[in-house]
Amino acid sequence: MRIDGGEEVSAAPEHLVFAYYITGHGFGHATRVVEVVRHLILAGHDVHVVTGAPAFVFTSAIDSPRLFIRKVLLDCGAVQADALTVDRLASLKMYSETAVIPRDSILATEVEWLNSIKADLVVSDVVPVACRAAADAGIRSVCVTNFSWDFIYAEYVMAAGHHHRSIVWQIAEDYSHCEFLIRLPGYCPMPAFRDVIDVPLVVRRLHKSRKEVREELGIGEDVKLVIFNFGGQPAGWKLKQEYLPDGWLCLVCGASETQELPPNFIKLEKNSYTPDFIAASDCMLGKIGYGTVSEALAYKLPFVFVRRDYFNEEPFLRNMLEHHQGGVEMIRRDLLTGRWAPYLLRAVSLQPCYDEPINGGEVAAKILQDTAVGKNYASSKLSGARRLRDAIVLGFQLQRAPGRDADIPEWYAVAETELGLRTASPKSLSDEDNFLAKLCTEEFELLHGSHHRLPDTLSFLNSLAELDTEHHPDKNIEKRKMREFKAAAGLFNWEEEIFVTRAPGRLDVMGGIADYSGSLVLQMPIREACHVAVQRIQPSKQKLWKHAQARKLSNGRESTPVLQIVSYGSELSNRGPTFDMDLTDFMDGDQPIPYEKAKVYFAKDPSQKWAAYVAGTILVLMTELGVRFNDSISLLVSSAVPEGKGVSSSASVEVASMSAIAAAHGLNISPRDLALLCQKVENHIVGAPCGVMDQMTSACGETDKLLAMICQPAEVLGHVNIPSHVRFWGIDSGIRHSIGGADYGSVRVGTFMGRKIVTSMASAPLSRMLSSEKPPQQANGNYDECEDNVELLEAEASLDYLCNLSPHRYEAAYAKKIPEDLLGETFLEQYVNHDDSVTVIDPKRTYGVLASTRHPIYENFRVKAFKALLTAEVSNEQLLALGELMYQCHYSYDACGLGSDGTDRLVKLVQEMQNSKLSKAENGTLFGAKITGGGSGGSVCVIGKNCVRSSEQILEIKQRYKAATGYKPFIFEGSSPGAGKFGYLKIRRRLPTNES
């Protein structure tokens, strides 16, 4: 249907013209479009396909003069460095070059073309600009997809920087012109579409039977057949005969013409009709995409999959695959090293059970026909701009928010914790907690330490007992279906001792990013914590996972110690729930491998990079303390510290892991030293350029106290009691924070540039003074003043930490001479290096220097004032002054480029609450707020009176933020002990006795 002059003109129902746009990302979109197009053509309509995919994808399934193929690429999808690696920065850059820069000419061309073919309906899968072009041409448009590019690119912006946000917004605005969305199974959150119609799987039909295909290949039913379907192969990789078990053959899709294959591998022609070969196989080995998953489910084919990094569609499809018992996850390094056998043998034992309809192509085609002749599926006539404002929320702008969108399947929120307001600290136990304490005593014999009656520790111990399914066969039937639970259930030998540790996250009250410049910081350990359970096991007694067992047998080393880790909550960030490695991989001869080599080792598989935070603690202990690990290690990580919210989830994992490993091996490491060792994990193995305050707070913190520390490098001054009339809260903005992100690192580089400039500026006059023939006091005629200047310049010329420069001295001597911005190349030419061992200057990047230099100098002063004010006389003036210091800190972050729309909004809400007539009438309840930690999203810290009204106001802010953004903030309240105060538990399972 066309819209001419504002009036709807219905096309003849017997002959319609469809313009079908296909995204430039992979074959999966083209292959599913084939099935929809086929049904439209069977109904007698013309379809013009706009695509960058090869013509054979369509012509191999459709032989009709009503099919028109126009080879045009209007978007680029996700740019892949190889078959498994998405390049986020390259994706945004390519999209900008493909769709943003030439946008005006694209729109003009597409509008002219749509009018020339007299299109009745524009269909997009899922090209954003097609929807806008349709609107400009006066033609209705519909999208058919399981994900949208605004959702995929939203997380890429975190790596690329905020200046790319306009890409996400433009894509969402384009989609908002679409009439409605035909949504396919395995869908992602797609908030740009408000009207949705769900259809069954769109799957290509079969041309030949399993028997016919096998006969053509000369393969009998006694041969096991795996189809290798990656849409390309990992770079520099060669298939080998020993990768397959005996009696197996492999069909290879997408092999190059020149590629040589072993005799048990068969190369499929490029124009082969893949569905026939999929249905004729016994399992598939590949990466997850809509095409591979839908056809594996439709033909009940077990799917051995390897995770891709940074493609947000994957967890949704993976869940659908595993829900129908059709998936086996393969570790990437086992794929690349050819340890396929345990995965393939596991796959053929599965019985996939997808019994839903697979006629989505037919159903979608009928809906498209109805829409083209005038049927209205949309629920409202709202304008595109109005729907956009209603659809896109602030919390989604830079971060997919698990469990927060109504369109997200329930499973995606399973591991999310929703907290309401609670008391300030965990001092009392509920009846349920008392029951758990009693239950833990019955389940475990406590050989050392105390659970301190902490509710989260009691819950963890109870969940640990539930893993012993042999002695509790009637418990946790539902949990046993979860892959994480299955893996964890086989970790421990229940007859042996298990060591348990706990380390909290932290709320950055004051100090933040000034820690790496040597500032005083004030940090509060929060209620949420990470628990780790560790067991040392003699290698011959360890229960290995099947792929680890296969690796061990292939190496022929029965006594090799193996590290096996299970991490709960993996689905929240699309990471693998398990990790294993031979501990000998950490050795090069008789010496530990260098940190840089370990960094590369963990970075090879982004879905398992999280293991660097845990396993990296072992390498640091080997390198720094000379520890050698001859026993295997089984380790379970369960963290309630939310990731990406600026409360140091990574430090809590590191501290809890190292504490547990140290306890299990009899290492006596002080909390301070342990924190410094954990910082090495983060800096050198993970590769995040953080200071040490996070690890220090997690290790050395105390309940309801602020850890006061001078970061030069880590001098703990003590603990500052939080006055009884003062209370702190953390409010999560919903915008994901990462200290590994580009913004945090660039500000750190700018800070160290500033320090180098200051020391160089001080060195020049000092050299002139010291080289003068006359004594300094005679040169200027004032002995005392010159001597002081020499001493002052000497201190500033050798400035180790920028925070040791006072604000007045900075303003008097240096502020006006430090450049606002500086190109990395220009700095390196003049100063050679910036003397920071954990960051590298990019010569082509421009760094903000002035604001990054100023912030830590003034922040150090603010923190000192804050600490002094905490012990001042109780008054509103005291709270007002504390709040003002927090506000100043917040806006200093913004000046450095580390702010975010979400955190700014929360701070503004606190200000509005503070300045309301009601608050003033009550002499104030909330007094200040600031962004925390590394900035660029995450959480804000709020200070207020410790009273009921303050809690009510925090709840009101939570609701107002949700109303404005669609995101319901996580509230951090209360405190708990650091790892040092908690110590460790040594427990042994109480096994049931046989009664006569």
Query: Catalytic site residues?
Result: 694
Which amino acid, residue 169? W
CA–CA distances in Å: residue 44 to residues 13, 64, 71, 207, 373 = 9, 10, 23, 22, 14
Say if residues 641 and 505 touch (Cβ distance below 8 Å).
yes
Strand partners, 142: 123, 180
Instruction: With CA atoms as reference, report the closest residue to 790 among 828, 822, 762.
Output: 762
**What tokens does 422 get?**
């609670």
Strand, coil or helix: 21: strand
Residue 776: in which H helix or E strand, if any? helix 776-780
Give the three-state DSSP class for 418: coil
3 state SS of 180: strand
**H/E stretch holding 150:** helix 149-160
What would the 3-class secondary structure string for 804-828 be? HCCHHHHHHHCHHHCCCEEEHHHHH
Which helix (DSSP H) or strand (DSSP E) does residue 634 occupy?
strand 632-639
Cis bond upstream, residue 726 (ω within 30)? no
How would DSSP label each residue in 366-380? HHHHHHHTT----S-
Backbone φ, ψ for residue 449 (5° rounding): 85, -175
Alpha-carbon dihedral 414, 155, 746, 607, rounded to 10 degrees: 60
Are 649 and 736 in contact by the 8 Å Cβ rule? The answer is no
Count CB-CB contacts under 10 A for residue 664: 21
Task: Please state, in angstroms and rounded to a whole number, the distance separating the CA atoms of residues 954 and 729.
Answer: 8
CB-based burial, 449-483: b 16+ in 10 Å, e otherwise:
bebbebbbbbbbbbbbbbbbbeeeeeebeebeebb
Contact indicator for 490, 628 with CB cutoff of 8 Å: no
Distance CA 314, CA 607 (A): 11
| Residue 271 structure tokens | 């124009």
Report the interhelical angle of 360-372 vs 26-42 (nearest 10°): 60
Q: Are 499 and 456 in contact (CB under 8 A)?
A: no
Structure tokens at 244: 């397959």
Query: Of 356, 310, 23, 4, which Cα lies nearest the Cα of 156?
Result: 310
CA-closest candidate to residue 141, choices 190, 191, 180, 192: 180
**Beta-bridge partners for 49:** 20, 69
CA distance 661 to 677: 13
Integer Cα distance of 711 and 692 in angstroms: 7
Q: 46 has which bridge partners? A: 17
